[in-house]
Amino acid sequence: MIKRLTTCCNSDTEHGRNYAGQSQQARDEQRRQQFLQAGLECFGRDGFRNSTVRSVCREAQLTDRYFYRAFGNLEGLLKAVYGQCMDDIKRQLGLAFQQAIPGGDIDTLARQGFTAFFNAMQDTRVARVCMLELEGVSPECDVYYHGYMRDFADMVMQLARTVHPHWPISNEESALLGMGFIGAMRQVTTYWLQQGGRASLDTLVNTGMRMMMGVIRQLEAEVKN
Amino acid sequence: MIKRLTTCCNSDTEHGRNYAGQSQQARDEQRRQQFLQAGLECFGRDGFRNSTVRSVCREAQLTDRYFYRAFGNLEGLLKAVYGQCMDDIKRQLGLAFQQAIPGGDIDTLARQGFTAFFNAMQDTRVARVCMLELEGVSPECDVYYHGYMRDFADMVMQLARTVHPHWPISNEESALLGMGFIGAMRQVTTYWLQQGGRASLDTLVNTGMRMMMGVIRQLEAEVKN
DNA sequence: TACTTCTGACGACATCTGTCGTCAAATACT
DNA sequence: AGTATTTGACGACAGATGTCGTCAGAAGTA
């Protein structure tokens, strides 16, 4: 006699009974979080290229079956981990800015932003994943990466624009300048990582401030001429 | 009867007879150049991670035996290609600076430097290898990479120092600032690459100039206070 | 011409990795 | 209690890759 087909084939948003006191969704989410955590650990410690599905699963203490269900492949997990870290940084930057909007000058505003940023970078796993691991993995990753970079560049230029709303600069040049700025922070961070975290948080923030205020001074000078 | 041992076991600086009208050294050098060229082609087109010993050898139209003799492994070739490209850029920057030393102001000096740099980047293979491919491959590559970065950062800060020889800034902070600067150029270049080379050379140079002059203005302001 | 060295093509081997299937035990449902 | 689902461990398989050895033919040398 032929067994009847199982009623539950795909595990997307399908129902699924409870197990170990948790719903299907809750278990899926739990595992997803375990993988994200393990991904941050592996990618941040060994790098994406030295990580494997097996190593991530070992770290997550889960079987590869769930891995493939949840992320498809390593690249999927990498993007997910990166996105989570970057969104977190974005949120913290937003908080830092919001906290100082009323009447604060650009100087303290920027300083708070840099402090938030370099604070997030103190977790070297996050720093490595956000600054180093995504670029060059694949064209899709590059697009994903540059999307975030663009967001941050826009954020910076918007901040600069609060000083003088009408900079004499085209959108293209503004984007490039913002990009350059983000790249500067990236390089400072990776250098700091490479040196084993020798420089202090203050020094890093100061470097960021110098570049930020420098750009603003430059644009101010261009307005005057 | 046992054959006598070959007199030529290692191929370092050992003798070797002529072949096809060329000395041993000349043939070795010729092959080395073919591999360097092929490496630039493969790494610059497909990226290091998508290149293999086989693909490089196919591109070079040489057998893997010579590859292993000359470079040991792919990473060896990558470093060699990177070093060659970076040395070339260094040389061109040196020329650009030398050409304008007598009495020229910092503005034109910097502009010439940026023009030389972004001109070199017009070859997207060079741009990709120099900006993207080395970082994160291995700890040794990272050290190699940061050595060059440090050189460039020093070069920039030395240039900035010609405006005012005594900046009130520590060596550590100077290094970080220079690094940030280099990172800015890196990010601008990779963004430009990602966009398919949309922005013009002028726009790129202008962005570099803005950042450079900005930093100088900032340091000037710090001196005055 | 006979012998040695150099060259290029080719295959062999081990390893790593992604990916999937199987199976028994744990858990839930009826 | 008996059946169905979920879970985790494990092995299998194919493909890619680094690496090395062999072998026949080309090029030089005595």
Q: Are residues B107 and B216 in the same domain?
A: yes
C-alpha–C-alpha distance, residues B50 and A82, integer Å: 22
Q: Are residues A139 and A46 in the same domain?
A: no
Q: Are residues B112 and B202 in the same domain?
A: yes
List all residues of chain A from 33 to 72 with a beta carbon under 8 Å from chain B: 47, 49
A176 within some domain: yes
Q: Are residues A161 and A213 in the same domain?
A: yes
B91 within some domain: yes
pLDDT in tens, A68-117: 999 999 999 999 999 999 999 999 999 998 876 566 688 999 999 999 99
B115 within some domain: yes
Q: Are residues A97 and A202 in the same domain?
A: yes
* Burial category of B119 from C-beta neighbours within 10 Å (exposed 0-12, middle 13-18, buried 19 and up): middle
Q: How many CB atoms lie within 10 A of CB B90?
A: 15
Residue B135 binned pLDDT confidence (cut-offs 50, 70, 90): very high
C-alpha–C-alpha distance, residues B111 and B201, integer Å: 12
C-alpha–C-alpha distance, residues A183 and B46, integer Å: 23
Taking CB atoms and an 8 Å cutoff, what residues of chain A touch B207? 173, 176-177, 180
C-alpha–C-alpha distance, residues A65 and A143, integer Å: 28
Of B47, B72, B97, the last residue of a domain is: B72
Q: Are residues B130 and B53 in the same domain?
A: no
* Whole-Å CA distances, A95 to B125, B202, B212: 41, 37, 30
pLDDT at position A7:
31
A207 or B10, which is more confident: A207
Q: What is the count of structural domains for chain B?
A: 2
A8 within some domain: no
C-alpha–C-alpha distance, residues A145 and A148, integer Å: 5
The average confidence (pLDDT) of chain B is 89
What is the CA A19 to C1' D7 distance in angstroms?
10
pLDDT at position A20:
87
How far does Cα A132 stand from its chain's mean position? 11
**b/e B128-159 (16+ beta carbons within 10 angstroms → b):** bbbbbbbbbbeeebbebbbebbbebbebbbeb
What is the CA A125 to C1' D28 distance in angstroms?
59
* CB atoms A215 and B219 under 8 Å: no
DSSP H helical ranges for B47-138: 53-60, 64-71, 74-98, 106-121, 124-128
pLDDT at position B105:
86
Single-letter amino acid code for the residue at A138: S
pTM: 0.90
Nearest alpha-carbon partner for B86 in B35, B126, B119: B126
Mean pLDDT confidence for B200-217? 96
Residues (pLDDT < 70) of chain A are 1-15, 100-104
CATH code at B143? 1.10.357.10
Q: Are residues B140 and B201 in the same domain?
A: yes
Q: How many CB atoms lie within 10 A of CB B35?
A: 23
Q: Are residues B96 and B197 in the same domain?
A: yes
For the ranges A94-103, B119-128, B185-194, B195-204, the lowest mean pLDDT is seen at A94-103
Q: Are residues A27 and A115 in the same domain?
A: no
pLDDT at position B15:
62
Q: Are residues A104 and A164 in the same domain?
A: yes
Residue B182 binned pLDDT confidence (cut-offs 50, 70, 90): very high
Q: Which domain holds residue B26?
A: 21-72
pLDDT in tens, B144-157: 999 999 999 999 99
* A138 CB neighbours strand C below 7 A: no
Q: Are residues B198 and B101 in the same domain?
A: yes
Single-letter amino acid code for the residue at A60: A
